[in-house]
Structure 1
Amino acid sequence: MSWLRDYYKNEVIPKLKERFGYKNIHEIPKLEKICVNMGLGEAVSNPKIIDQALIELAQITGQKPKICKARKSIAGFKLRKGMPIGVMVTLRKNRMYDFLARLIHVALPRVKDFKGLSKSGFDGRGNYTLGITDHTIFPEVDSSKVERIKGMSITIVTTAETDEEAYELLKELGMPFRR
């Protein structure tokens, strides 16, 4: 069992219950899943980059990624339907909590000139998305073997009804938001 999940159950749930006055335990927002996505537009000209991204994303998340293929052809980008253009992973349960703990306590502090996460990443339905421009901030990736620095988008899906509830949930879990 993940220590962050224990922290959520023992510390975060009582704080959220007190703050929002929930009467039912099932009303309290919780994490549902985390989706990690690497869009690799340059894979059109260099297909080997997909193989490297698969390996690196598997190292970061601890789970085998899925290859995302183009849904339609776009002549301007020399893209044909069915070409691999990205990799993604959906994390749930313990892997999700382990990944979030490493993101908050190890990876984000390694970002150069990090001033905190923006509150504008909420989508209005209680989900939060953040973009990372350098995937080598995760210690699992050996930066000496990396050919190209890749960005990734991380979406944290919660059961919260509003952005305010999701913000409080993530803030209590330790997400470093800007003031």
Structure 2
Amino acid sequence: MSSESEAGEFHEMREPTVEKVVVHMGVGRGGEPLAQAEEILGEVAGQQPVRTTAKRTIQDFNVREGDPIGAKVTLRGEDAAAFLETALPLAALREAQFDETGNFSFGVEEHTDFPSQEYDPDIGIYGLDVTVNLVRPGYRVSKRDKMARPIPARHRLTAEDAIAFLESNFDVDVAAEETA
């Protein structure tokens, strides 16, 4: 059951909003490749990236716990919406990319797909992952320090609501899953 009305609009207290967009590049090792990835990520997202480290040691990949292996940027507000306007046309979204609470992720295979980027043979091609967190007004109730409460099931965002929000606000078509 979607909370969208017949006219295609949400009630003001049920209107989804973009809480945050996390853009991540996993390089797998530190050094020059990670520095290049951070530079690209900063240009694409328009914000200074932060390094991510390995959670555990993986001997097969020669990665130790605590080694820097990637970079990420968290965008909120107008920056997040502007980034989505640029990044969503680069990906083909499917229903399977949405979770039960309306969040979704997609990948961009080449950073050169962004209008601000050009191919440089010295750097190569980097891909990036984008995770979008959608919320409704009132979700702060579950995150506040005092008197935190769970969000009732009737107010939680669903995948159908998230798809309707994207199709109306970002002019994106989400492909339905094929049944075998």
TM bin, normalised by shorter chain, reads: 0.7 to 0.9
Q: Deviations over 1:62-111 (max 9, x none)?
A: 00111001111121211111111111011001111111112235xx2xx7
Matched position secondary structure for 2:13? helix
Change (3 A) 1:70 1:102: same
Residue in structure 1 matched with residue 105 of structure 2 by the alignment: 129
Structure-2-length-normalised TM-score: 0.76
Residue in structure 2 matched with residue 32 of structure 1 by the alignment: 19
Instruction: Quote the Cα distance in structure 2 between the aligned partners of 1:139 and 1:22.
Output: 33
Residue in structure 1 matched with residue 166 of structure 2 by the alignment: 170
Segment of structure 1 superposing worse, 56-65 or 135-144: 135-144
Contact in 2 for aligned 1:131/1:153 (Cα 8 Å): yes
- Structure showing the higher helix proportion among its residues: 1
Contact in 2 for aligned 1:39/1:85 (Cα 8 Å): yes
Q: Structure 2: state its 5+ residue gaps.
A: 137-156
Report whether the alignment pairs 1:73 with 2:60: no
Residue in structure 2 matched with residue 4 of structure 1 by the alignment: none
Letter in 2 for 1:133: E
Instruction: Quote the Cα distance in structure 1 between the aligned partners of 2:72 and 2:124.
Output: 18
Structure-1-length-normalised TM-score: 0.76
Instruction: Quote the Cα distance in structure 2 between the aligned partners of 1:94 and 1:152.
Output: 21
Change (3 A) 1:75 1:144: closer
Matched position secondary structure for 2:43? helix
Instruction: Quote the Cα distance in structure 1 between the aligned partners of 2:8 and 2:117.
Output: 40
Matched position secondary structure for 1:80? coil
Q: Report the Cα offset of residue 16 of structure 1.
A: 4.2
User: Sequence identity of aligned pairs in percent?
Assistant: 30
Letter in 1 for 2:174: F
Report whether the alignment pairs 1:90 with 2:85: no
Q: Aligned residue pairs: how many?
A: 153
Please point out which of 38, 43, 49 is paired with 1:59: 43
Please point out which of 119, 126, 129 is paired with 1:150: 126
- RMSD value, Cα: 2.3
